[in-house]
Amino acid sequence: MLRLLGRKLLALIPVLFLVTFATTALPDLVDGSPVAQMLGPGSTPQDLKDLEHEFGYDKSLPVRYVTWVGNALTGDLGESLKTRTSVMDGIAERFPVTLELAVFALLMALIVAVPLGVWTAAKAGGRVDRVIGGVSSGLLSIPTFVSVFILVYFFANPKMMLAFKPTGWEYISVDFAKNIEFAFLPALALALAEIPQFQRLLRSDMLATLQEDFILTARSKGLSTPYVLFRHALRPSSFSLLTVSGLTLGRLIGGTVIVESYFAIPGLGQGMYQAINGKDIPVVQGTVVVIALIYVLLNTLVDIGYSLIDPRVRAR
């Protein structure tokens, strides 16, 4: 296990290098100086040079990269060009919001997809299987930004019995009930894109498991169908779902830009959107690196967890 962990950690190095180097090169891809927006109308070219020197943009790319990595290793991701505040402090403030939203969406997707996957596997080829398969195909074809408008129209309407908050946010530590009101619609918008994938993956694995000898033995003993499905067939069929769920959590953390921007949620996605529009390079750079690091670490943890729960992988 220690050797496996060591190999996984070593595999992080080239990935993190590519991500950090690419984000450090962002100022070279921006039209004009990234600090020009900080100057007033009466500024001079010398003022621009002084500001570029202050933020280190007058140095070459290799020098900037080495300097940034050295600072990042100490927890310093730079200073926002807009607010002149610490990038790390801003990310630390926004990350719990995005993490809660991503976990909420993942749980919603699993709560719906797991029973549907088991049900369709048990009824493979039947009417239920065909109907749910058609609905899954429809959900997969709907982009997230379209789901957002549909959900807001039906569930953020004051005339509806269940009217959720269309925009805004309340921290869970302040008011749990209001937090759920604000988080439900954006989490559901994210979950709708994951439910069909989880359902289809679990259905496929369940179909293979239901053909195994130990399932036939359990049925021959007279055990009820729900007991056989959920007690004997679900666990060996959920290994792929576990892997995909871990990767999905990392993708959700980095993929909430549209949802957070529309619902005015103060998370990493909204912060990234505002930083891109404002050409706030240090914020974009720091956020991208943090999201990439989280995604790669989650991927590594999923691989390790997969080997722990599946004896076949551990034996190999």
Among 27-41, 45-59, 98-112, the minimum mean pLDDT is found in 27-41
CA separation, residue 250 to residues 28, 99, 139, 206, 254 (Å): 28, 9, 21, 25, 7
pTM of the model: 0.83
Residues 6+ away with beta carbon under 8 Å from 105: 186, 187, 188, 190, 191, 194, 252
pLDDT single digits (tens) 279-288? 888 888 888 8
pLDDT single digits (tens) 61-113? 888 889 888 888 888 888 888 888 899 999 999 999 999 999 999 999 999 99
pLDDT single digits (tens) 168-227? 888 888 888 888 888 888 999 999 989 999 999 999 988 888 888 888 888 888 888 888
pLDDT single digits (tens) 223-277? 888 888 888 888 888 888 888 888 888 888 887 888 888 888 999 989 888 888 8
Structure confidence at residue 97 (pLDDT) = 92
**Phi, psi of 80, deg, nearest 5:** -65, 135
55 or 21: which leads in pLDDT: 21
What is the enclosing helix (H) or strand (E) of 12?
helix 2-24
Structure confidence at residue 102 (pLDDT) = 93
Answer for the pair 47, 55: CB distance below 8 angstroms, yes or no. Answer: no
Structure confidence at residue 5 (pLDDT) = 67
pLDDT single digits (tens) 120-158? 988 888 888 899 888 888 888 888 888 888 888 888 776
Least Cα distance to 234 among 145, 119, 118, 312 occurs for 118
Q: Which two tokens stand for residue 265?
A: 């949620």
Mean residue pLDDT of the chain comes to: 83
315 or 20: which leads in pLDDT: 20
Least Cα distance to 213 among 233, 197, 198 occurs for 233
